[in-house]
Amino acid sequence: MNLVIDAGNTSVKLAVFDRENLIFYQNIKADELARQVKEVCDHYPKIKDGIISSVGKMDRKVFGVLAVFCNVHELTSNSRTPYKNSYATRQTLGVDRMALATAAFYQNPKGNTLVIDSGTCITYEMVNDYGEYLGGAIGPGLQMRYNALHEHTAKLPLLMPEEPLDFIGNSTENSIHSGVVNGMVQEIEGVINQYKRRFTDLTVILTGGDAPFLSKRLKNTIFADSKFLLRGLNYLLEYNKH
């Protein structure tokens, strides 16, 4: 069994895989990680290997706790990847983007795949039908757009994501929801269409915390998988064992 830890910008995801099967998942706060790692490893004594992916600073004591129970691989830019990496600045490529590209490579090994991860940021990752990671794009996520309107203006309120009643907002709050949600949906649709013009038979996968909210609003055919990044980390762990 494998223990997978994804430390993102806002929370930490824990997962246990039995080969390729996800058998446990938990979303926790960063300060709970060391304690939860011990509890999970006690509950699943067959865990032999673990991988940690962090987009920020990781409390080093977590590595010490995890090392008691299993072999630990810290995902970095030096980790081996199954795809051909054509990113110009490989040392700056985020570990979360590496995991998404890996999941795309294994999910659709002979096809063109665009992965859209909508969380704190929204990222676009492209793996072509030659198994080559080309790169993509990074932009502000849904809540970040709401935060920016509030923080960089004098009077606009801070709102949580909500379905716009109409694309024409008849109040300040409705106008914000229309601008943020419709703007993001139109952006995603536009990006997908750009990629479709260049790549034939494009498979589009939507993941991340905002995937359920956004997937119902997209007209393009997509596959929503909120655990896609965790699957990519599990693949990378297996790949780096050898």
Active site (catalytic) residues: 96
- Any binding-site annotation on 6? yes
Distance CA 41, CA 86 (A): 37
Task: Give 88's DSSP letter.
Answer: T
- Any binding-site annotation on 117? yes
- Any binding-site annotation on 96? yes
Task: Give 30's DSSP letter.
Answer: G
- Any binding-site annotation on 196? no
Q: Tokens for 13?
A: 């995801």
Distance CA 76, CA 225 (A): 24
- Any binding-site annotation on 221? no
**Residue 21 CB-half CA count within 13 A:** 3
Burial tier of 178 (Cβ tally within 10 Å: 0-12, 13-18, 19+): middle
- The counts of H helices and E strands in the chain are 8, 11
- Any binding-site annotation on 153? no
- Any binding-site annotation on 11? yes
Q: Tokens for 120?
A: 């704190």
- Any binding-site annotation on 10? yes
Q: Residue written as tokens 């300060």?
A: 31
Residue numbers in the known binding site for substrate are 87, 94-97, 172
Residue numbers in the known binding site are 6-13, 87, 94-97, 117, 120, 172
Residue numbers in the known binding site for ATP are 6-13, 120
